[in-house]
């Protein structure tokens, strides 16, 4: 990450965290509890998602009018069954990306960040 | 960060809401809560006409908002809308609760989507673009119903997915 070195701490069950890079400072998501609304998008230079276990880093420069997107996607799955109850599963992962407007049309790029470090392009 | 704790709450009867997360969303021939043995409440294949399960009504509840600021973009879909020949899963949503029926639902009128819908199909506050922003808040109601016609075969399975986005 340029010439900056920071130590990252990951809470239990979190495999990715964001890093905000400004001209004068770098802030990691879990150094304190950062909310998305805490991010100073006016002055944010780049937004980096770092994986806990691999060397994977997703680097999003906030240039050309890109508006940052970050949230956690949750899927709760229930099996409808005719014989026995199988309960349900819950899967949660961060999604990062940006939106840009060109010719009055919004374009959105979304990446799903999986716990094992894989990155998937999402349609919505 | 502490993730939000979201429950999917089943509601049935005149106004009985389960106190915890739904054990299942199974579609039965009786108006009961989750956690039943489905084989004990089968929807029979009609010799003429159509049989219907009782509507299964559920909504999301923010049990604990944790370190998140909002829950939004709620979407409901299944891996199939026809778990077996002659059987169709219908879905709809409503902001107001009424006792589930085992006649043709006036809410669950469309075949459930079979992939993640592009836009929300379970609202917060009665219209699109809403969100849940505090512990204790509820979404609108999602409504499922199984429609069984004379050609139905038994034994199908389907997986219902409730998707939502959590903004830190």
Q: Bigger pLDDT: A91 or B157?
A: A91
Residue A121 in contact with partner chain B when CB distance is under 8 A:
no
Residue reference for tokens 């050309």: A64
Name the residue of chain A whose CA is nearest to B89's CA. Answer: A80
Domain assignment of residue B151, given as a range: 5-167
User: Has residue A84 got a pLDDT over 80?
Assistant: no
User: Has residue B101 got a pLDDT over 80?
Assistant: yes
HSE at residue A123, side-chain half, CA atoms within 13 A, is 5
Distances (CA, A) of A43 to A21, A60, A62: 9, 14, 9
Q: How far is the first Cα of chain B from the last one, in angstroms, to the nearest whole number?
A: 8
Q: How far is B164 from chain A (nearest CA, A)?
A: 5
Residue A32 in contact with partner chain B when CB distance is under 8 A:
no
Tell me whether residue A38 is in a domain: yes
Q: Mark yes or no for CB contact B1/A88 under 8 Å.
A: no
Tell me whether residue A71 is in a domain: yes
Collect all residues of chain A within an 8 Å Cβ-Cβ radius of residue B118: 123-124
Express as a percent the part of chain A with pLDDT over 70. Answer: 91
Q: Given B24, B78, B167, which is nearest A71 (Cβ)?
A: B167
Average pLDDT, chain B: 96
Tell me whether residue A8 is in a domain: no
Name the residue of chain A whose CA is nearest to B120's CA. Answer: A124
Domain assignment of residue A103, given as a range: 16-122
- Please tell me the distance from the alpha carbon of residue A9 to that of residue A27, in angstroms, as a whole number: 12
Q: Which two tokens stand for residue A54?
A: 């691999």
Collect all residues of chain A within an 8 Å Cβ-Cβ radius of residue B159: 77-80
Q: Mark yes or no for CB contact B160/A80 under 8 Å.
A: yes
pLDDT value of position A88: 83
pLDDT value of position B33: 95
Phi, psi of B60 (to 5 degrees): -85, 140
Q: How many beta carbons lie within 10 A of that of residue A88, not counting itself?
A: 20
Q: How many beta carbons lie within 10 A of that of residue A82, not counting itself?
A: 18
Name the residue of chain A whose CA is nearest to B81's CA. Answer: A80
3 state SS of B157: coil
Average pLDDT, chain A: 91
Q: Mark yes or no for CB contact A76/B8 under 8 Å.
A: yes
CA angle A50, A36, B67 (to 5 degrees): 95
Tell me whether residue A2 is in a domain: no
pLDDT value of position A4: 56
CA angle B81, B125, B145 (to 5 degrees): 25
Collect all residues of chain A within an 8 Å Cβ-Cβ radius of residue B162: 75-76, 78
Mean pLDDT of B116-127: 97
User: Has residue A112 got a pLDDT over 50?
Assistant: yes
- The secondary structure of residue B159, as a DSSP letter, is E
Q: Which helix (H) or strand (E) holds B147?
A: strand B141-149
Q: Could you tell me if A99 and A107 are in contact, meaning their C-beta atoms sit under 8 angstroms apart?
A: yes
pLDDT value of position A85: 59
Q: Could you tell me if A58 and A96 are in contact, meaning their C-beta atoms sit under 8 angstroms apart?
A: yes
User: Has residue A86 got a pLDDT over 80?
Assistant: no
Nearest to B58 by CA among B133, B161, B130: B161
Collect all residues of chain A within an 8 Å Cβ-Cβ radius of residue B165: 71-74, 95
How many structural domains are present in chain A?
1
User: Has residue A2 got a pLDDT over 60?
Assistant: no
Nearest to A95 by CA among A81, A74, A116: A74
How many structural domains are present in chain B?
1
Tell me whether residue A9 is in a domain: no
Q: Per-residue pLDDT tens for A23-82?
A: 999 999 998 889 999 999 999 999 999 999 997 899 999 998 999 999 999 999 998 876
ipTM: 0.95
Tell me whether residue A10 is in a domain: no
Collect all residues of chain A within an 8 Å Cβ-Cβ radius of residue B83: 80
Q: How far is B73 from chain A (nearest CA, A)?
A: 9
Mean pLDDT of A8-25: 94
User: Has residue A3 got a pLDDT over 70?
Assistant: no
Q: Given A81, A92, A123, which is nearest B157 (Cβ)?
A: A81
Total CB pairs under 8 A between chain A and B: 109
């Amino acid at each position: 990450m340029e010439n900056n070195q920071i130590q990252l701490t990951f809470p239990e069950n979190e495999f990715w965290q964001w890093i905000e890079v400004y001209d004068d400072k770098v802030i990691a998501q879990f150094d304190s509890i950062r909310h998305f609304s805490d991010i100073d998008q006016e002055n944010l230079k780049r937004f980096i998602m770092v994986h806990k276990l691999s060397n994977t880093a997703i680097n999003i420069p906030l240039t050309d009018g890109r508006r940052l997107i970050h949230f956690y996607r949750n899927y709760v799955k229930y099996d409808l069954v005719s014989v026995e109850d199988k309960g349900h599963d819950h899967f949660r992962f961060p999604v990062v990306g940006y939106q840009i407007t060109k010719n009055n049309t919004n374009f959105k790029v979304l990446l799903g960040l999986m716990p094992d470090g894989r990155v998937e392009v999402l349609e919505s | 960060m502490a993730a939000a704790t979201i429950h999917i709450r089943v509601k049935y009867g005149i106004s009985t809401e389960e106190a915890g997360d739904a054990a299942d969303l199974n579609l039965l021939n009786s108006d009961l809560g989750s956690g039943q043995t489905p084989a004990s409440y089968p929807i029979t294949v009609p010799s003429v006409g159509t049989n219907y399960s009782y509507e299964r009504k559920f909504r999301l509840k923010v049990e604990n908002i944790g370190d998140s600021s909002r829950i939004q973009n709620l979407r409901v879909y299944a891996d199939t809308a026809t778990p077996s020949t002659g059987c169709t899963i219908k879905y709809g949503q409503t902001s107001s609760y009424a006792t589930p029926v085992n006649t043709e639902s006036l809410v669950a009128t469309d075949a459930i989507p079979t992939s993640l819908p592009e836009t929300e199909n379970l609202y917060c506050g009665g219209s699109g673009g809403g969100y849940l922003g505090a512990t204790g808040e509820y979404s609108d109601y999602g409504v499922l119903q199984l429609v069984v016609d004379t050609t139905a075969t038994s034994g199908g399975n389907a997986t219902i997915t409730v998707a939502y986005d959590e903004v830190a």
